Amino acid sequence: MTGLRSWLVRRLLLGAGQTVAVVLVVFALTEALPGDAAVALAGDQPDPGRIAAIRETMHLDRPACERLGDWAAGLLHADLGTSLTSGRPVGSAIGDAFGPTLLLAALTLVLLVPAAGGLGVLAARHEGRLADRLISSVTLAVYAVPEFAFGVLLVAVFALRLGWLPPTAVGYGGELLAHPAALMLPVLVLLSRPVCSLTRLIRAGMIDALASPYVAQARRYGIPGARIRYAHALPHALGPAAQQLARTVDWLLCGVVVVEALFVIPGLGTVLMNAVTERDVPVLQGLAVVFGCTAVVLNLGADLVTHRFVPRTGEAA
Amino acid sequence: MYDGPLHDPRFPGLRRRGFLAAAGGAAGLGALALAGCAGPSGDTAGGGGSPRRGGKLRAAFAGGGASETLDPHLAALFADAARAKALFDKLADFGADLSAEPRLAASWEPNAQLDRWTVKLRKASFHNGKPVTARDVLYSYRRIADPHKAFRAKASLEPLDLAASRAPDERTVQFALKRPTAEFPNILAAFGAYIVPDGAQDFDRAPVGSGPFRFVSFTPGRSALFRRNDTYWDGAPHLDQLEFLVANEESARLNSLLGGQVEYAHELAPTTARAHEGKGQIEIVRLRNSAMQSFAMKTDRAPFDDKRVREAFFLLADRKELVDGALSGAGEIGNDLFGKGYAYYANGLPQREQDLDRARHLLKQAGAEGLRVTLDTSAVAAGFTEAAAIFRDQAAKAGVQVKVAMGSKDSYWQDTLDAGSLCCYRSGAMPIESHFSQRLLSASTTNATQWRHKDFDALYQQAQSTKSPQDRAAVYARMQRRLYAEGGFLVWGFADWILGTARNVRGVAHRAPANTLDWARFDKVWLA
């Protein structure tokens, strides 16, 4: 397995490089934005003296490269720096927000994989028939609805009209798990689009696999249909699905801004939004590191899965 | 006693407040707050009734995530201000007409030159049982004025000479001022000028104030839980507990109110108000005169350095159309002056109407026919972009080409402070005197209209050294007539501040512009 190991090392190095690049780009872009944290904080009282004072207390008067250097030095001791606007450690702000986002992502994933797998296989088995046409058209239709609209619709019907579920998670903050009802609508909204794309991918992969020579061969050997489908064909369809899944998890973890805003869930997306409006560069940098690392690790995992299930794809790539 | 604006015979409301405060002190003020709520137009949400003790009120505000703070001197957001008000007190605060009302200060008395003021503190104590003393007051003000810090109230406290101010005894503060300041009480009521215990620095863990509620817990960006302060000098609150929750989206605040997750939602949209007003599900409260809406013309540069052009622009605006279009009708029209309904507002001036013929004539006189100007706007405040588009169309009718330029949301205020010639402008409630001193004097740091006139400055100084409120009102009236005739602010409206409450919430003041004493004042609220 030395081949795999060197491949892993190369991938990790590449990933680290990509993360550094993301951080640099985020820093450069935030610097390029008009105004800085002092201006954002001064708001509609842009008293020049006050802005200068804020800038000084925030050390924004120091050159950009110096600030970046300080921050990078801190990073070596696993110190993500201090928020400009609150003066609190960035690490704890991100850590606090990580919990709710992780919870949402995990719940969505737990439901997503069986739902998309089942629907995809079902559609593939009934290719061209009613079940397939129904699944295909519904997934396409739901995929076309923006999350925000879908969320508003769900809230209007299930929370405000029928009163079955709470409309938001306001006030549940840290202990979301204690209020499972408040999680249902957000998870439903989060599920809505990935379930559609994943179902369609698995359906396509399954159809390909079921039509492949090796499945025909297996059939000739008289292997039962269910075993062919799940042991032989499905793994083949999982390669692309794993890649898509990695992207979905990435998207979920990197804070689904819309869902968090709509349902008042204090996760990473909320932190990101606030940090951008406040020009809170250290927080943005910290988030970039977290998002970058997450993306690298997830994609690595997806590639490993592809390696495992569809070795030829990995070799060809 | 403080005989500032309060005994002015032309402001009977003020005299009444003066009388109440003088006669009954705290009790009088409490009664007034209730009277204000139940006032002439049935002013309380869901009717009156006698206050009931108990219960927990959850209030949803837009917040700032992890940057939220309980440091009352850092408060910048409405959520911060509301929390600060629950935990802390100021020496004075603003009434509905933006005149200062005594709070921790029982009285204030100037010397003959108006540059030494003696403030007597009422008997009050912090949550840890220690009395509020003159030392605490001086510490708080010195902290705000720290030259190395950028606390928001620093500019408001600028007239104070804190090094020369003294505390002759526990409950007396002698403030020295750098110059005569007749409106000294406004300084005590300034946004963010809260009194904290001597030496207090860390406010996030266990802040100690003298306010109506005590600290229980706080998670920035999520929730702040407070409980009743039974020994509050102004009478213990009716509520057992008060929780501030953060929901940045207007739709989330509304939904949580509709779904019974909160009882009070701050900052709702006019369309929301229209959809739910009188439907019985929730109560809509409109706080009138909360935000001045205007266009700011830079008076020091072309084309607005010609006062005929400024007057022409005053005449281009159809104020009713702007209020209906840009504010969805949630507001009232302006008359090119700040502070409608506030103390010292020049009520007597005729309401300006659209007059395109006269505007064309004035522009022709000024040699500005076929004028083209750029109007800077941004989505930074509700109604800005709409107002710009509406005004562009109104101006086009008189042959003035207005080009609307969209600016960055986050740096808009700084961008438009010195640059451009015409921009959308907004202001929250403050006394008219503060509006002058912050925006219209030569030395003002946020002079968005670049209005710099020695004689205007002199009038302001004259008002500040005039003891008699009548005489001072006359000076202010003169200043406002000047601004009305040739100022740089085209004030087209005053927006309502809209909030929603659950049907069982009582005692929410209706006549309290945002940031005044009765706004977000939960010690007078109860659950029926």
- Amino acid letter, residue B317: A
- Across residues B317-334, what is the average pLDDT? 95
Confidence of residue A296 (pLDDT cuts 50, 70, 90): confident
> How far apart (Å, rounded) are the C-alpha atoms in residues B420 and B443?
20
**Residue B39 bridge partners (DSSP):** none
Confidence of residue A316 (pLDDT cuts 50, 70, 90): very low
Residues in chain A closer than 8 A to B243 (CB atoms): 171
Query: A89 vs B1, which has greater pLDDT?
Result: A89
> Tokens representing B449?
């209209």
Does residue B11 carry a pLDDT above 50?
A: no
Domain ranges of chain A: 92-278+305-309
Q: Please indicate whether, in this complex, the C-beta atoms of A160 and B221 are within 8 angstroms of each other.
A: no
Write down the pLDDT at residue B17: 31
- 8 A C-beta contact, residue A228 and residue A237: no
Q: Residue B125 gets which letter from DSSP?
A: B
> How far apart (Å, rounded) are the C-alpha atoms in residues B431 and B429?
7
In the A/B pair of chains, how many CB contacts fall below 8 A? Answer: 154
Write down the pLDDT at residue A78: 80
Which H helix or E strand runs over B405? strand B401-406
Distance from CA of B252 to the nearest CA of A (A): 6
Burial of B305 (0-12, 13-18, 19+ CB in 10 A): middle
Q: Please indicate whether, in this complex, the C-beta atoms of B413 and A44 are within 8 angstroms of each other.
A: yes
Q: Which of A53, A54, A274 sits opposite B65 (nearest CB)?
A: A274
Write down the pLDDT at residue A275: 86
Q: Please indicate whether, in this complex, the C-beta atoms of B248 and A270 are within 8 angstroms of each other.
A: yes
- What is the Cβ-side half-sphere exposure of residue A47, based on CA atoms within 13 angstroms? 18
Residues in chain B closer than 8 A to A57 (CB atoms): 148-150
Who's near B198: CB < 8 A, 6+ residues apart?
A: B133, B135, B136, B139
Q: Which of B154, B261, B426 sits opposite A170 (nearest CB)?
A: B261
Mutate to test the interface with A, among B80, B219, B222, B258 (most CBs of A within 10 A): B222
Q: Please indicate whether, in this complex, the C-beta atoms of B219 and A271 are within 8 angstroms of each other.
A: no
pLDDT per residue as tens digits for the range A243-288: 888 888 888 887 688 899 899 988 888 888 888 888 888 888 888 8
Helix axis angle for A147-154 and A180-210, nearest 10°, is: 130
> How far apart (Å, rounded) are the C-alpha atoms in residues B293 and B67?
28
Residues in chain B closer than 8 A to A34 (CB atoms): 408, 410-411, 415
- Residue that has been written with the tokens 């509020």 in this structure: B132
- Residue that has been written with the tokens 């997750």 in this structure: B261
> How far apart (Å, rounded) are the C-alpha atoms in residues A204 and B19?
82
Residue A280: phi, psi to the nearest 5? -85, 85
Alpha carbon separation from A195 to A154, A181, A203, A233 (Å, rounded): 17, 21, 12, 20
Q: Which of A53, A54, A274 sits opposite B64 (nearest CB)?
A: A274
Determine the number of helices (DSSP H) and then strands (DSSP E) in chain A.
Answer: 15, 0
> How far apart (Å, rounded) are the C-alpha atoms in residues A155 and A175?
21
Query: B42 vs B213, which has greater pLDDT?
Result: B213
Distance from CA of B413 to the nearest CA of A (A): 5
Q: Please indicate whether, in this complex, the C-beta atoms of A47 and B219 are within 8 angstroms of each other.
A: no
> How far apart (Å, rounded) are the C-alpha atoms in residues A132 and A12?
40
Write down the pLDDT at residue A253: 81
Who's near A195: CB < 8 A, 6+ residues apart?
A: A112, A115, A116, A119, A139, A142
What is the per-residue burial (b if ≥16 Cβ within 10 Å, else e) of B17-26? Answer: bbebbeeebb
Does residue B48 carry a pLDDT above 80?
A: no
Q: Please indicate whether, in this complex, the C-beta atoms of B261 and A171 are within 8 angstroms of each other.
A: yes
What is the per-residue burial (b if ≥16 Cβ within 10 Å, else e) of A8-19? Answer: eeeeeeebeeeb
The mean predicted confidence, pLDDT, of chain A is 84
pLDDT per residue as tens digits for the range A185-236: 999 999 998 999 999 988 988 888 888 888 888 888 888 878 888 877 887 7
Query: A288 vs B241, which has greater pLDDT?
Result: B241
> How far apart (Å, rounded) are the C-alpha atoms in residues B189 and B140?
13
- Across residues A82-87, what is the average pLDDT? 79
CA-based nearest residue to B269, from B426, B469, B496: B496
Residues in chain A closer than 8 A to B246 (CB atoms): 170, 264, 266
- 8 A C-beta contact, residue B301 and residue B450: yes
Q: Is B218 helix (H, G, I), strand (E, B) or coil?
A: strand
> Closest-CA residue in chain A for B261?
A170
Mutate to test the interface with A, among B148, B290, B411, B414 (most CBs of A within 10 A): B414
- 8 A C-beta contact, residue A184 and residue A165: yes
Pairing of strands B401-406, B372-377: parallel
Residues in chain B closer than 8 A to A159 (CB atoms): 255, 259
- Can you list the domains of chain B with their CATH numbers? 289-496 (3.10.105.10)
**Residue B501 bridge partners (DSSP):** B264, B283
Distance from CA of B304 to the nearest CA of A (A): 22
Whole-angstrom Cα Rg for chain A: 24
Q: Is the peptide bond before B303 cis (omega within 30 degrees of 0)?
A: yes
Which H helix or E strand runs over B321? helix B319-326
**Residue B294 bridge partners (DSSP):** B425, B491
> Closest-CA residue in chain B for A159?
B259
> How far apart (Å, rounded) are the C-alpha atoms in residues A150 and A190?
10
Query: A83 vs A152, which has greater pLDDT?
Result: A152
Q: Please indicate whether, in this complex, the C-beta atoms of B259 and A264 are within 8 angstroms of each other.
A: no
Q: Is B396 helix (H, G, I), strand (E, B) or coil?
A: helix
Rounded to the nearest 10°, the torsion over CA B122, B126, B128, B130 is: -40
Distance from CA of A131 to the nearest CA of B (A): 37
Q: Is B217 helix (H, G, I), strand (E, B) or coil?
A: strand
Tally Cβ neighbours within 10 Å of residue B424: 26
B220 touches chain A (CB under 8 A): yes
Q: Please indicate whether, in this complex, the C-beta atoms of B65 and A83 are within 8 angstroms of each other.
A: no
Distance from CA of A230 to the nearest CA of B (A): 43
B241 touches chain A (CB under 8 A): no
Task: Please measure the distance between the N-terminal and C-terminal CA atoms of chain B and give it in whole angstroms.
Answer: 38
> How far apart (Å, rounded) are the C-alpha atoms in residues A186 and A172?
14
Q: Please indicate whether, in this complex, the C-beta atoms of B411 and A40 are within 8 angstroms of each other.
A: yes
- Which pTM was predicted? 0.86
Does residue B215 carry a pLDDT above 50?
A: yes
Q: Please indicate whether, in this complex, the C-beta atoms of A44 and B150 are within 8 angstroms of each other.
A: no
B468 touches chain A (CB under 8 A): no
- CATH architecture, domain defined by A92-278+305-309: Orthogonal Bundle (1.10)
Q: Please indicate whether, in this complex, the C-beta atoms of A274 and B67 are within 8 angstroms of each other.
A: yes
> Tokens representing B101?
């009302």
Q: Please indicate whether, in this complex, the C-beta atoms of A46 and B64 are within 8 angstroms of each other.
A: no
